Structure 1
């Protein structure tokens, strides 16, 4: 079984389209959260993924949008949350609200969380990856850091596919991964997309321009 793994789309439809166009044929698509936030296509990204993902979890931006709560976000993140709240319809909000904080996929072999198995808001960077994060699953998928990385242990795989819509690992290209469940291997992928068109859409939506300019930096 080959599985496409994505995370942190952050309402960047241009990047999401590029990833899905680039992705080879897979048996399932998994998402580690934060479909919305920051960029100006929250409704479109929710619609695309609710029709395509086999399993997904709720990210902190997703939770902020559907809960109405105010979190300690910076001005860019807060603006993206408010924008998404205005853009989503009831069905789209319901889909986001029904995402769990942790879920099991692929016949119990894959666990998906957003930040950490014990804390959905904890940023688990690659230097904290270890086999101790694994439970009964063969593969643990995390998002949240926007940093693409995976490690293979005797006990299984710990991985972050990176961010589709706002990479923060110094590479501006949209990130995703392919998990081979039979061989227990991970292929990390990057794909170029039209960042200038996202920057223009950010300006037209009245969102902070820094949301678009940082995409070029991969930060």
Structure 2
């Protein structure tokens, strides 16, 4: 069984479309949170994941939009939250608000969280991946850091597919991964997309310019 794993779309429809176009045939797809925030297509990205019925957990930006709070967010993140709240309809807001902070899929073999199993807001970078993070699942999927990576242990795999919509590992390309549950392997993938189009859309939406321009550097 092959599973597409995505995370941190952050309302970047251009990057999401590129990932979906690049994606090989898979048996399922999961998302480790933060569908919305920052970029100017929150409604379109929520609609796409809902249409595909992608099992998704709640990220911190998803929670902020659903709850109407951007506490401790910087100005760029807060602007993205406000923008999303103004553009999501009632059904989309309800979908966000009902996302769980943790879920298991594929017969309990894959666990999804956003930041850390014990704290959804805790950044857990690939160099911190350890077998102790695993419980009964074969694969633990994390997001939040926007840094792609995975480690394989005797007890299973800990992985972060990277960010679709706002990579922060120095590579501007959209990130995702293909998990093979039969072979217990992870293929990390990167996809070029039209960053210029996102920069232009950010400006047109009146969002902070840096939301777009930092995409050039993958930061």
Number of the residue aligned with 2:137: 137
Task: Give the Å deviation of 1:161.
Answer: 0.1
**Aligned CA distance change for structure 1 residues 54 and 203 (closer, same or farther; 3 Å):** closer
CA distance in 1, matches of 2:134, 2:18: 31
Q: Is the 8 A contact 1:30 1:53 kept in 2?
A: no
How far does the alpha carbon of each residue in 1:130-149 deviate from its partner, in whole angstroms, 9 at most, with x for none? 01000000000000000000
Task: Give the Å deviation of 1:51.
Answer: 1.6
Structure 1 alignment gaps of length 5 or more: none
CA distance in 1, matches of 2:60, 2:70: 11
Structure 2 alignment gaps of length 5 or more: none
CA distance in 1, matches of 2:9, 2:26: 19
Q: Is the 8 A contact 1:12 1:45 kept in 2?
A: yes
How far does the alpha carbon of each residue in 1:33-63 deviate from its partner, in whole angstroms, 9 at most, with x for none? 0000000000000000012144110000000
The alignment's C-alpha RMSD in Å is 0.6
CA distance in 2, matches of 1:51, 1:200: 27
CA distance in 1, matches of 2:35, 2:112: 14
Number of the residue aligned with 1:22: 22
Whether 1:208 aligns to 2:208 is: yes
Q: Is the 8 A contact 2:70 2:81 kept in 1?
A: no
How far does the alpha carbon of each residue in 1:65-124 deviate from its partner, in whole angstroms, 9 at most, with x for none? 010123101100000000000000000001111110000001100000000000000000
1:43-58 paired onto structure 2 within 5 Å: 43-58=43-58
CA distance in 2, matches of 1:172, 1:191: 9
CA distance in 2, matches of 1:99, 1:90: 15
Normalising by structure 2, report the TM-score: 0.99
> Which contiguous aligned blocks of 4+ residues in structure 1 show a shift greater than 6 angstroms?
none
Count of residues in correspondence between the two structures: 219
Partner secondary structure for residue 55 of structure 1: coil
Q: Is the 8 A contact 1:28 1:53 kept in 2?
A: no
Number of the residue aligned with 1:121: 121
Whether 1:80 aligns to 2:90 is: no
CA distance in 2, matches of 1:106, 1:218: 32
Number of the residue aligned with 1:175: 175
Number of the residue aligned with 2:218: 218
CA distance in 2, matches of 1:102, 1:184: 21
